[in-house]
Structure 1
Amino acid sequence: METRADVLIVGAGMVGSALALALQGSGLDVLVVDGGALSVKPFDPQAAFEPRVSALSAASQRILERLGAWEGIAARRLSPYSQMQVWDGSGTGQIHFCASSVHAEVLGHIVENRVIQDALLERLHDSDIGLLGEARLEQLRHSGDDWLLTLADGRQLRAPLVIGADGAHSAIRRLSGTPTREWDYLHHAIVTSVRTAEPHGRTAWQRFTDDGPLAFLPLEREGEHWCSIVWSVTPAQADRLMSLDSGAFCQALERAFEGRLGKVLGCDPRLCVPLRQRHAKRYVARGLALIGDAAHTIHPLAGQGVNLGFLDAAVLAEVLLHAAARGENLADERVLARYERRRMPHNLSLMAAMEGFQRLFQADRLPIRWLRNTGLKVVNDLPEVKALFVREALGLSGDMPELAKVAN
């Protein structure tokens, strides 16, 4: 059996779902395909926090609001933060960012990925977008002017335009033969949620240790103090930390964090994720586009991965809608290249910056330690420079798609 669509989005994760919602009401026949089930789970506010979270920027919040998903996120669980404290564990350099420096209430929100996903799926189920779950892709080939996708159960899908939104290990990227530049960071990230003795003060904390950055991200729960942690360490250190029992792990974590939030009282089950940077050499080809982690993965140092993906989705939707209004062929590579030209430079510049930070703070030579500590102190004493960083993080500058712009 063959199913046809105008636009076929492979991957119903956060970024793919956002793109689909941005295209609803366009008159295009959009079909979203995913290998997993596309049901929305009932939310239990007393349930443990999901280990994987995202630090949503203000730009991402505006996108989700305009897609109608933010209300579902707020009804479940989110944790705003208005300050960020960063310091070098090997020196005295530190820097403090505050939303009030640009007259904003918050810098962003820490939200569990499952919460974002369910809020988006909820909107998709209420839309005119086609959904096909538990559909694993096995083959991808050209058929005339279309792409023909064959699923594991033998069904076939046909579309002139296919969007790969299927994550870091994208089948679309692999099956289409899209080349990438990639390298291993030689670090693993340990992620979990921990309960602390002291309140986090709606502050995102990050300490650069000798092994790698350690982030404590604020989580909201009445009567208790919780944070999501992302601890980047060498593989050998990761193996050692993962082998510890909960009590010993909490003690090691407390020491690494210099006890900034008092005693670490407990932790949820831990995940360990190898870190690898990956960037597709091209985001587009005839009838094909990659967005989100299918196009680029980045070090979790600044928590920008999903924010870049939401901007990809918003820009691609804008390009496609404008082209459709002009009667252009959406599968034309010249049309899709407009998306690539807007997103690739921004993504590459941020990836290069994160790579530079990561190398700078892992350098052990005394002159480099002195340089980075001095740099942190100098920037911390320059409010105008710090405000520029804050405005960039909030999405108040640069080439913003309409979905992400501040309303006039």
Structure 2
Amino acid sequence: MTQAFDIVLVGAGMVGAALATGLGRDGFSVAMVDRAPAPGFDPDSVPDIRVSALSAGSERYLQNLGAWDHILNMRATPYRRLAVWDETRHPLSNLLPPTANRVEFDATRLNTPHLGHIVENPVTQHGLWQAAEAEPSVTILAGSGIAGITRSEEQARVVLENGEELAAALVIGADGAQSRVRDMAGIGVTRNQYGQQAMVISVRYQGPVQNITWQGFYPSGPRAFLPLHSAGSDDPGESHASLVWYDAPEEIARLKSLGNDALMAEIQQGFPAELPQLTHIEGRASFPIARQHAKQYSAGRVVLVGDAAHTINPLAGQGVNLGFQDAQCLQGILKEARRTGKDLADASVLASYEQQRRPANRRMMYAMDAFYHLFSNRIPPLHLLRNLGLGTARALPFARNRVARYAMGIDDELPAIIRQLTARLPDLNQL
């Protein structure tokens, strides 16, 4: 027997679960399919190695979905300051003031209580599943992936690995960078592999929970600190954090091979002096860094969101925030299509989604690539340029803060002068 829905959404991670919840709230009947079982949460567990910096805009979106309170009832750490500085020393550094290579954003100066929250990915996902379960028109089908998709002029049919069959007007692929939905729809990607890998290390440190997240830039890549929650009564006076170390693959392999004590010593020596004293390493993982973009966001009755459509350099932690923006955009477009009586998979409907999201995602890819290449080298002119850039950001707090409010989802629009500049960026259709 075939179950009929308005929409079959494949992939119940953070972006997929958010979109399923939002569509359910708008009255669509949605089947949310995922091979993995429902996520759980253990308040006594150590932090998951996977964390994200959720922007203020994403927080507002999660509040609207009814998920944010669930997340706060588990674990979420607000950060009120964000700092970036250049750790590369060069003779040209002596031409600039000592503070010229550093810029800091402060929530107080942006007239907001915080800049965002650092949240473990499974916590965000669990909160969104709880919100999805509260929507009567959302059916969660966990424990089985998809085996095939067939499309006709009238509908799409999805066959699950357990043999169940689903029919819908539209299939949404939210199943990540290695999307099976994208492959089944015949949508290709462009992919660029960076010469670096990222190592994520879950640690405990001595001291209270910090309210700042920072990145120090080295020629081999950035090294970042993301604060997490207190370690509690079992480890009094200590707090959890997530560290990110970007470097060449062979150096990451060497670091991963070290024992905890040796790795901790390497981190204390290799990270900026701002890093607090570490007391314990709780987990580690590494992954290659790549930029990937689907050649198109839809085909027939299939449309892509989040990492299924695009992945970017994780330099500024914008991946999940971009995915949430995809979800909000597609939800609004589908709601309007239903109001006007259009087929949800009408070519004009899905083209409207791509016309809005592809340029925004492409601009963020371009910005992260430019930032990556500007900072990951020792070339003297670029070294001077990036220090001048950071110094200019310090010297122009009004413009800096306006851009920061937009980037963090506090304001809906960039300042007019910045909009004019970004409109002149090169056409990156090949990305």
Deviation at residue 366 of structure 1 after TM alignment: 1.5
* Alignment TM-score, normalising by the size of structure 2: 0.89
Letter in 2 for 1:107: L
Does the 8 A contact of 1:87 with 1:95 survive in 2?
A: yes
Preserved contact between residue 199 and residue 261 of structure 1 (Cα < 8 Å):
no
Equivalent residue, structure 2, for 1:404 = none
Of 166, 173, 189, the residue aligned with 1:157 is 166
Higher mean C-alpha displacement, 226-235 vs 240-249: 226-235
What is the distance in 2 between the residues matched to 1:397 and 1:99?
13
- One of 45, 60, 63 as aligned partner of 2:61: 63
**CA distance in structure 2 between the partners assigned to 1:180 and 1:160 by the alignment:** 24
2:129 is the alignment partner of 1:115: no
* Correspondence 1:365 to 2:379: yes
Secondary structure class of the residue paired with 2:351: helix
Query: In 2, distance between residues paired with 1:181 and 1:389?
Result: 29
Please give the per-residue CA displacement for 1:351-375, whole angstroms capped at 9, x wherever unaligned: 1000000011112212211211122
Change (3 A) 1:380 1:25: closer
CA contact (8 A) 1:73 1:119 kept: yes
Deviation at 1:342, TM superposition (A): 1.4
**CA–CA separation in structure 1 for the residues paired with 2:274 and 2:125:** 32
CA distance in 2: counterparts of 1:243 and 1:259, whole angstroms:
24
- The residue type paired with residue 169 of structure 2 is P
CA offsets 1:47-75 (integer angstroms, 9 cap, x no match):
20011001000110011001000000000
5+ residue gaps in structure 1? Answer: 401-408
Contact 2:9/2:31, CA 8 A, preserved across alignment: yes
- What is the root-mean-square deviation of aligned Cα atoms in Å? 1.6
In structure 1, the residue matched to 2:196 is 187
Give CA-to-partner distance per residue, 1:86-132, whole Å, 9 cap, x none. 11110451111111122111010000001101111111122110111
Question: 1:399 deviation in Å?
Answer: 6.2
Equivalenced residue count is 398
2:133 corresponds to: 125
What SS does structure 2 have at the residue aligned with 1:135? coil
Pairing partner for 1:291 from 305, 320, 331: 305
SS at match of 1:217: strand
Q: Displacement of 1:197 after TM fit?
A: 3.0
Is 1:30 matched up with 2:30? yes
In 1: Cα distance, 2:333 partner to 2:346 partner? 12
- Give the corresponding residue for 2:110: 102
Structure 2: which 5+ runs fail to align?
90-97, 415-431
Whether 2:182 is the aligned partner of 1:168: answer no
State how far apart, in whole Å, the 1-side matches of 2:317 and 2:160 are. 34
Structure 1 position 163, deviation (Å): 0.4
Tell me the distance in 1 between the aligned counterparts of 2:396 and 2:343. Answer: 49
Q: 150, 161, 176: which is aligned to 1:141?
A: 150
Q: How far did residue 258 of structure 1 move? A: 2.5
Give the whole-Å Cα distance in 1 for the aligned partners of 2:276 and 2:326: 39
Letter in 1 for 2:149: L
> 1:144: how far off?
4.4
- State the identity %: 40
Q: Which deviates more from structure 2 when the two are superposed, residues 142-151 or residues 223-232?
A: 142-151
Which of 221-230 and 301-310 deviates more?
221-230
Aligned pair partner of 1:310 in 315, 324, 331: 324
Kept after mapping to 2: 8 A contact 1:146/1:159: yes
Structure 1 residue aligned with 2:92 = none
Structure 1 SS opposite 2:156: strand
| Other-structure match for 1:345 | 359
Task: Name the amino acid aligned to 1:396.
Answer: I
- Aligned counterpart, 1:9: 9
Structure 2 counterpart of 1:28, which letter? F
Partner Cα distance (2:214, 2:42) in 1: 27
Conserved 8 A contact 2:185-2:299: no
Residues 383 and 213 of structure 1, relative CA distance in 2, 3 Å threshold: same
Structure 1 residues 381 and 372: alpha-carbon distance in aligned structure 2, compared to 1, 3 A threshold: same
- Could you tell me how far 1:255 is from its partner in structure 2? 1.6
Aligned equivalent of 2:79: 81
